[in-house]
Amino acid sequence: MNRPAPDLLKPRKTPQQSRSAATIEAIHTATIQVLLADGVGRLTTTRVAERAGVSVGTMYQYYPHKQALLFAIVERQLDLIVTAMLGAVERLEGHDLQTVSDGLATAWLDAKMADLVSSRAIYGIAAEFDLAELMSRAKNLMVEAISPLLRAVPDARFADPDLTAFMLAALLGGTVRVVMEAGSSEDDLERLRQELPRACLGYLKMAALQPTSL
């Protein structure tokens, strides 16, 4: 599959005012709606502009073509998830290992399942792009946030908190993606909510060098 280079997918400009930000939000919402209604094959910038209530000219001020628009949707979703996780890390600072583990797993699931239908639609288009740079950036942000969180837990010590944070992020991301991409049932998603925190805690317990009260 020929994937467009990331440099060709950058928006022409970024919103500087609240009105422009609202326009971008309307365009992103309309893109998801068109994806869900008609699929990626029938999605065009014209159809999205009509659904968003903006002119095609306004659309082109931001996104020069369909691929740039779709890439922006994927990037936005990833940014929302990273932001949610960074917020969770801040709230969990100083808590014990189980609280940290459960909190991170729950925050990840909440972020991914806040709009489950849209998340699945975005998974469907993500394969069209080279996401290495985006994923690397998100991974680095996650590791940089989770590693000091693990260092601060009062009831465990880790030989390599950076490595442990990396593997925990991989566990969260990979597990949820496999389940969601498979179009799993509500029962499967509920099982995921029950078992993912247990899986994360089990990994962290195994990785801990000096558990004191696990």
Q: How confident is the model at residue 214 (pLDDT cuts 50, 70, 90)?
A: very low
Protein fold of 18-67: Arc Repressor Mutant, subunit A (1.10.10)
Protein fold of 71-207: Tetracycline Repressor; domain 2 (1.10.357)
Q: What is the mean pLDDT of the chain?
A: 84
Angle at 71 between CA 68 and CA 7, to 5 degrees: 60
Q: Where in the chain is the domain with CATH 1.10.357.10?
A: 71-207
161-181 and 132-151 helices, crossing angle to 10°: 130
Q: Where in the chain is the domain with CATH 1.10.10.60?
A: 18-67
Residues 6+ apart with CB under 8 A from 51: 30, 33, 34
Q: What 3-state class would DSSP assign to 158?
A: strand
Residue 47 identity (one-letter amino acid): R
Cα distances (Å, whole numbers) of residue 40 to 36, 128, 129: 8, 11, 13
pLDDT tens-digit readout, 19-67:
778 888 899 889 888 888 888 888 889 999 999 999 999 888 888 888 8
pLDDT tens-digit readout, 179-208:
877 766 888 889 999 999 999 999 999 999
pLDDT tens-digit readout, 80-121:
889 999 999 999 999 999 999 999 999 999 988 877 767 777
